[in-house]
Structure 1
Amino acid sequence: MARPPRSLAAAFLLIGALAMAGTTAMAAPAPPESEVNAIGQPPGSAAPVRGFVDGHTHLMSYEAFGGSLLCGRPFDPDGAQEALVDCPDHLPRGEAAWFENFTRTGSPTGTHDPVGWPTFRSWPAGDSLTHQQTYHRWVERAWRGGLRVLVNQLVANRQLCEIYPLKRHPCDEMASLRLQAQRTFELQDFVDARAGGPGRGWFRVVRSPAEARQVIAAGNLAVVLGVETSEPFGCRQTLGIPHCTRAQIDRGLDELHALGVRSMFVCHKYDNALCGVRFDSGAQGVIVNLGNLLSSGRFWAARTCTGPEHDNTIEKAGALPPELARFLPGGVGLPLYPPAPHCNTRGLTSLGAHMVEGMMERGMLVEIDHMSVKAADRTLDLLEAAGYPGVVSSHSWTDPGFLRRIYRLGGMVTAYGHHAEEFAETWRRSEPLRAESGRPGYGYGLDANGLGPLPPARPGNAGNPVTYPFTSFDGAVTLDRQRTGERVWDVNTDGVAHYGLVPDWIEDLRIVAGDELVQDMAAGAEAYLRTWEGAASQAP
């Protein structure tokens, strides 16, 4: 199976040369590709920008966690037949895909059809967390359907990498982030080559809100680099002892800023030397809590909350699958917790406060999701004292009680993608808070390829389904059912099986909640840019 080399420049130059020169007798036939099934060109949009924002998606997470946990890739010079493939360890029928099975059903046993291109009988699917969901043609369809700002979260998790037995890369988190940033720029080059040369493609990585506005005004997609990692700059802790210094944090922020990163989490999944985390629940919570033990020497420490805000409930754990149980030290079992609601006893450390202050100095957006309520409360205190608007909750991983404070600062909320009725209800609950703060514009954080499910089909939609073809929110593009190879997807039955079905999901939102919701979401990209501008204006 072909793998993209460390640098794809030669392949992209060849693609570009063929595109410029036209078809010749020497040119190889074009590789098989997914269809976009969208007719029309997205219009340019000057201020105020009209279009959607996805504040949280992982285009390059296939390179994370050692590079063998997620199957397939978002692009390949040889097309979909090489990019959209299953993991070798899933063959022949998915019996060995214990992580896929465990996160999908709660059991490590199960099977699936491993064949991707061209049949796609089992995947991609909204609840299949290890198969590629962000192929470039699917992202292109979302852009044609109205997406104007996409935050590509570079992601790493050393412990998950070490737990999973197969690896193509070392587990160093910073090395993984660098590689994913490189791959993002390679995707930009790839799209450029297909469009005829440098700067001609629709996929543009941006480093400032002014640059983002220029890209969107030209009718293209502005891609912002974010970072969601568990041990930024090596800031893990062991039994409460930090493994990093303030100088390390300063150097790390400088490096990531130079790479183009403009949005970042302080902690993610595991308690680190910077802050305590908001817990995971369910089967995935069992895996993550074990990772917390391996990362920090301790399981999560929880108390019964006494205030209105709380972290996610740690559910009673069942038996660990053998692939995970072997990591437990001898005689150690999973912990018991006090009655819910649960609050992490750990908050923002002095090193964490230093990182937040360093992000403010650089005009970066502070991602508050995944912080424990204790850490989030202290972080908001720091931002409020500085009058700093650059705060984002990008995928509903903070207590809703903090949203008013985020909006009052001038921050941005992009909600996790649920089925249409549930997402619409989340939007309705947010309306009074945004009206109170004068903050129109709503976004979504789909978390595609982030080990979380995509929106399923809306229950009971037979009486008012999405009807194909339909038009984008601005009427510029007509979209029909999406086809990749032999498979045709329909949001009424498949939900958001992959990123290309986001426009269909938004049309489903229109059916459920009307044009008011869709137009508020179409103000989302502008709202995000204003939050970013507010943060950037405070940097020296």
Structure 2
Amino acid sequence: MRSVVRPAARPTLRLAVAVWVASALVGSVLVLNHGDQPAGSGPGSGAPGADELKKSYSATAANTTKKPGDGTVFNADGTHAHDPGSPPHDDNDPKTKNAISRSATTADADTVDPTTPAAARVHESSVAAQRAERPVPLRAAAGDPAQPSVPTDRYNFYNSCYGLQNTGNGRWLAGTGMAATSAAASTPLYFKPTALGTYLLYAPDGTYLGAKSGKAAYATQPGAAVNWTVTQVGTGVFRLSLPGVGYLASDTALGAVVVGSPSSRTQFRPLKRTGCKTFPEITTNVVGRPAAGVSSFQETRGYIDAHTHGMAFEFLGGDLHCGRPWSPWGVTVALKGCQNDGLNSVTGAAVETFLSGKPGADPVGWPTFKSWPAPNALLHEGTYYKWMERSWQAGQRLLVNLLVENNQLCTLYPIKRNSCDDMTSIRLQAKDMHLMQSYVDAQHGGPGRGWYRIVTTPVQARQVINAGKLAVVTGIETSVIFGCHLYLGNPTCTTGSIDKQLDEVQRLGVVQMELVNKFDNALAGVAGDEGQTGMLVNAANMLETGSAWKMSTCAPNDPEVHDKDQTLSVPVPSQDGLFGALLSVLPGNILAPILNVLPALPVYPAQHHCNSLGLTQLGAYTVQGMVKRKMLFDPDHMSVKARKQALAVTEAMRYPGVVSSHSWSTPDAYPRILQDKGFVAPYAGDSTGFVGKWKRMLTWANPRIYWGIGYGADINGLGAQGNPRPNAAANPVRYPFTGLGGVKVYQQVSGSRVFDINKDGVAHYGLYPDWVEDLRVQAGSKIVSDLQRGPEAYLQTWERAYGVKPDACTNPSLRRYPSFFRTKLRKGATWWTVVQKAGQPHRRLDKQFTYCAKRGKTVTVRFNARGRLVAVKG
């Protein structure tokens, strides 16, 4: 890797910039990293027809587009300001997060959307035809392994109640003694898994079995000191040990003791019993077994979230985020609140109050959850594993978890425990994903038993989904991928270093990746940010690259296809996230020197603005490298110029593996991606706004490929979640409602709080099933059907990235003679081998694939239960 020596900035300015950005820029991280939304709203409910929908966009453009002299206030450079008297832009306002593009304000559609009304009608008709086809057969998934009276292995203790009998003397553990002569007289202990094969032993009085001075003792708090490792000695016989302390043993005189070496007196036979105090935990409130496929290789059903940050508790140094998706010590630790964590003791309480959006905010999480989780509680954990489990139980079957970092924000924030290096943070988060998978496995009976399954190929993903579990794809969204900084035009990476790190992240399991996030880097320019947020991020871009964004007037200057528009002056963002909170608590003599010296930003020309930095040669090389490794390329957050160039690269390589995951592209790109046989998942946002995005996407549907839609929650990525629907009281979601496969979904209960989508919105990840039901209430069964087809659409895009040809029924030029199937497909071949040779079938129902052949013939390929070819007919 070529190093670049960065020239020192002027000390006074550099110090002022660093201090200011540390409080203002990093503080406003609520809206910087991913949650910043464009002004204006996306399409509403709209009219059902394609022509009417297109006309409504044209009317919107005519009514909202203003020119100099029509009453709009313009700056000296020609850029426009907010109308006189208009309120400051609020990036978390529900009205601003529902545009079809979060990268450019939606002003009109016809000027940029290449889809004509006639084509839109064809696209919508093709969707309707696909919906009308034969339903996919489903079954109830297998449940957790049974727990007999005596555990069968060291994982079989999970979340259950046991008494412990010493096999040497037949005595039972009672308190700290070994005097009990019957199971009924023993102390019932609840075995709460902390990882695979390790447990907290929770007593009826709410204490934890541990050791002190060589004897058994009970502690009041969970932790490593009471984390027992269980090992199996023989059938129904186990040992329990505390690492670094010793083994639980029976002593005639002393009772229960802890000794240094194993022997016959350290052997115990657990017996299942009643009387335990249940370990504190959040409930999912979903009744019924999750839906699964009839075969492991059939067409899938479920929902896909194509963009979430489940391991974001580690990013920005690890101390800005409050809470985590799991803790070995349980929910009371994972979601305990922020009183003493991350935010320093001087400002912590005031900041918590400020960020909640109301005075007297309660920073406590479990068990009251008074002020968080909430749609705009952006620094608080939203993906606790039981909340995710609820989403899975109700119907979600695919999740793209993006590893995330922002090195400048992390460096400037004063409190941290983790490295700020993007790639170091990504490695840590990838490791965490596997730790969480093991933790979920432990809660369900052992390795591979859990519902959270990390996958690296479309074959694995299909098998996991059809087993009724959640397929988890690993992605990356970070500001400086692969250490590819750009400073004063000089890159800090080479083609060699890019290849090395592409190989590394592929070994980490990364499948889907963006090239940029918030700052220009050596691979591409970014779309930027707008308003006060844009000024702050642009200042950070100066620290990162040595220059501000190179924004110029777009040519052609289109009101919809452009990057984030920049303003001229730099007002003090007194109500911008954490910075506003700091202003409310820090004395003026500390703030004055910070506010008096601000970084000089350029005066930009007339809007609309486009970043002149497009895709660099290193960026094109990276895209090509992703294609060679069959990775899915996400063009979100790129500048318009860079994205157009990147799509030209994938098109030249005839590569369909392109996914736009959370509405951070522009409306010219979405139909292009779909026509290239890729996949688009709009940002979830409010349910009303998503209905509008779905209606517009119907006009872009590619009739040549399988139709399905996903959503990008962007939760934990500082993206605001859906607010309650304003008219919910008149037409509410009613509980319980029915989820995928007939499961019943009741109101979610976390601790002492009961959540209601009608009042709370998407307060946490577990309310996404309720959000989907809210879509059904507004738009009917069609939108739910299209969402349930989402995982299959994503999987087929992923398959095509492997070189698999698309469906010949909708691509007639790919049809083959029936004899091809009879002679080229051999009995015993796997279903994946068949797909690689024959292309994607039109349908995959149960154990039979259907293909369109030449001369109007239909060919069926049949498999056995193991997915091996047994017959070809047609």
Q: TM-score, normalised by structure 1?
A: 0.91
Within 1, Cα distance between the matches of 2:679 and 2:790? 9
Instruction: Output one character per residue of 1:109-155: Cα deviation in whole Å (capped at 9) or x when no partner.
Output: 97631110011111111111100000000000011111111000001
Task: Indicate the residue corresponding to 1:7 in structure 2.
Answer: none
Among 312, 334, 349, which residue is 2:564 paired with?
A: 312
How far 1:289 moved relative to its partner? 2.0
Given that 2:304 and 2:396 are in contact with CA atoms closer than 8 Å, whether structure 1 keeps it comes out as yes
Q: Give 1:398's aligned residue.
A: 665
Q: In the alignment, is the contact (CA less than 8 A) between 2:352 and 2:361 conserved in 1? A: no
Does 1:23 find its partner at 2:162?
Answer: yes
For 1:386, the equivalent position in structure 2 comes to 653
* Matching residue of 1:10: none
Alignment of 1:159-198 (within 5 A): 159-198=408-447
Q: Structure 1 residues 330 and 20 mapped into 2: Cα distance closer, same or farther (>3 Å)?
A: closer
Which of 682, 703, 717 is the equivalent residue of 1:415?
682
Instruction: Name which of 308, 311, 321 aligns with 1:60.
Output: 311
Picking from 709, 720, 729, the partner of 1:453 is 720
> Are residue 266 (structure 1) and residue 515 (structure 2) matched?
yes
Matches within 5 A, 1:24-43: 24=163, 25-27=188-190, 28-29=201-202, 30-43=278-291
Q: Residue 100 of structure 1 contacts residue 128 of structure 1 at CA under 8 Å; is this kept in 2?
A: no
Alignment of 1:119-268 (within 5 A): 119-268=368-517
Give how far 1:409 is off: 1.1
- Whether contact under 8 Å (1:93, 1:111) holds in the other structure is no
Would the alpha carbon gap of residues 94 and 484 (structure 1) be closer, same or farther in structure 2, given more than 3 Å must change? farther
Contact persistence 2:390–2:766 (CA under 8 A): yes
Q: What is the CA–CA distance in structure 1 between the aligned matches of 2:711 and 2:764, rounded to whole Å? A: 15
* Offset of residue 291 of structure 1: 2.0
Matches of 2:542 and 2:305 in 1, distance apart? 32
Superposition map of 1:418-457 within 5 A: 418-457=685-724
1:113 aligns with 2:362: yes
**Higher mean C-alpha deviation, range 503-512 or range 437-446:** 437-446
Structure number with the higher helix fraction is 1
Q: Secondary structure of 2:729's match? A: helix
Task: Determine the structure 2 residue equivalent to 1:11.
Answer: none
SS at match of 2:158: helix
Tell me the equivalent position of 1:516. 782
> Closer, same or farther in 2 for the Cα pair 1:358/1:97, shift >3 Å?
farther
Relative contact order higher in (CA < 8 Å, ≥ 6 apart): 1
Task: Please give the alpha-carbon distance, in whole angstroms, between the structure 1 residues aligned to 2:337 and 2:536.
Answer: 23
Any conservation in 1 of the 2:532–2:573 contact (CA below 8 Å)?
A: no
Contact 2:633 2:658 in 1 (8 A): yes
Specify the code of the residue in structure 2 equivalent to 1:391.
V
Secondary structure of 1:149's aligned partner: strand
Secondary structure of the equivalent of 2:775? helix
CA contact (8 A) 1:89 1:97 kept: no
Shift in CA distance, 339/96, structure 1 to aligned 2, threshold 3 Å: farther
For 2:318, what is the secondary structure of its paired residue?
coil
* 2:766 is the alignment partner of 1:496: no
Question: Mean Cα displacement is larger for which, 484-493 or 435-444?
Answer: 435-444
- Cα drift, residue 337 of structure 1: 2.9
> Residues of 2 paired with 1:100 and 1:370: CA distance?
31
| Residue 747 of structure 2: aligned partner | 481
Q: 1:275–1:494: structure 2 CA closer, same or farther, 3 Å change rule?
A: same
Measured after TM superposition, the shift of residue 400 of structure 1 is: 1.0
Q: 1:374 matched to which residue of 2? A: 641
Following TM superposition, by how much is the alpha carbon of 1:206 offset from its aligned partner in structure 2, in angstroms?
Answer: 0.3
- Preserved CA contact (<8 Å) 1:94 1:113: no
Q: Does the 8 A contact of 1:203 with 1:223 survive in 2?
A: yes
Provide the aligned C-alpha RMSD in A: 2.6
Aligned to 2:803: 537
| Cα distance in 1 between the residues matched to 2:539 and 2:390 | 38
Task: Tell me if the contact between 1:91 and 1:114 (Cα under 8 Å) persists in the aligned partners.
Answer: no
Kept after mapping to 2: 8 A contact 1:363/1:538: no
Q: CA deviation at 1:33?
A: 0.8
Q: Name the SS of the counterpart of 1:397 in structure 2.
A: coil
TM-superposed CA distance for 1:31, in Å, is 3.3
How many residues of Structure 1 are paired with residues of Structure 2 in the alignment? 522
Shift of 1:463: 1.1
- Of 506, 525, 535, 2:772 maps to 506
Residue of 609, 618, 641 corresponding to 1:342? 609
Match of 1:75 in 2: 326
Q: Which has the higher strand share?
A: 2
* Secondary structure, counterpart of 2:772 in structure 1: helix
Describe the superposition over 1:477-502 as per-residue Cα deviations: whole angstroms up to 9, x where unpaired.
Answer: 11111110011111111110000000
In 2, the alpha carbon distance for the partners of 1:200 and 1:329 equals 59
Q: CA deviation at 1:331?
A: 6.2
| Counterpart contact for 2:410–2:420, Cα < 8 Å | yes
Q: Please say which structure displays the higher CA radius of gyration.
A: 2
- Which secondary structure does the structure 2 equivalent of 1:512 belong to? helix
Shift of 1:439: 4.3
Corresponding residue for residue 9 of structure 1: none
In structure 2, give the amino acid aligned to 1:35. Answer: T
Instruction: Supply the distance in 2 between the matched residues of 1:171 and 1:95 (Cα, whole angstroms).
Output: 22
Cα pair distance change 1:43/1:431, threshold 3 Å? same
CA-to-partner distance for each residue in 1:263-287, whole Å, 9 max, x for gaps?
1111111000000001223454343
SS at match of 1:150: strand
Instruction: Provide TM-score, normalisation by structure 2.
Output: 0.57
| 2:652 maps to amino acid | A
**Which secondary structure does the structure 2 equivalent of 1:343 belong to?**
strand
Structure 1 portions without partners, runs of 5+: 1-13
Report the Cα offset of residue 537 of structure 1: 3.0
The aligned counterpart of 1:6 is none
**What is the alpha-carbon distance in structure 1 between the residues aligned to residue 342 and residue 732 of structure 2?**
38
Stretch moving more, 451-460 or 303-312:
303-312
Q: How does 1:276-315 map to 2 (within 5 A)?
A: 276-307=525-556, 308=558, 309-315=561-567
Distance 1:60 1:97 in 2: 26
CA distance in 1, matches of 2:437, 2:320: 24
The alpha-carbon deviation at position 160 of structure 1 amounts to 1.1
Moved more, 276-285 or 209-218: 276-285
Whether the 8 Å CA contact 1:100–1:129 is kept in 2: the answer is no
Q: Which residue of 1 aligns with 2:734?
A: 467
Q: 1:132 and 1:49, CA in 2 relative to 1: closer, same or farther beyond 3 A?
A: same
Distance 1:91 1:165, change over 3 A: closer
Quote the Cα distance in structure 2 between the aligned partners of 1:89 and 1:110: 21
Paired residue secondary structure (2:477): strand
Structure 2 SS opposite 1:44: strand
Contact 2:474 2:509 in 1 (8 A): yes
Q: Are the structure 2 counterparts of residues 238 and 74 from structure 1 closer, same or farther at C-alpha, using a change threshold of 3 Å? A: same
2: distance between equivalents of 1:20 and 1:138? 18
Q: Distance in 1 between matches of 2:480 and 2:159?
A: 45
**Contact 1:237–1:243 (CA<8 Å) still a contact in 2?**
yes
Does structure 1 conserve the Cα–Cα contact (< 8 Å) formed by 2:354 and 2:361?
A: no
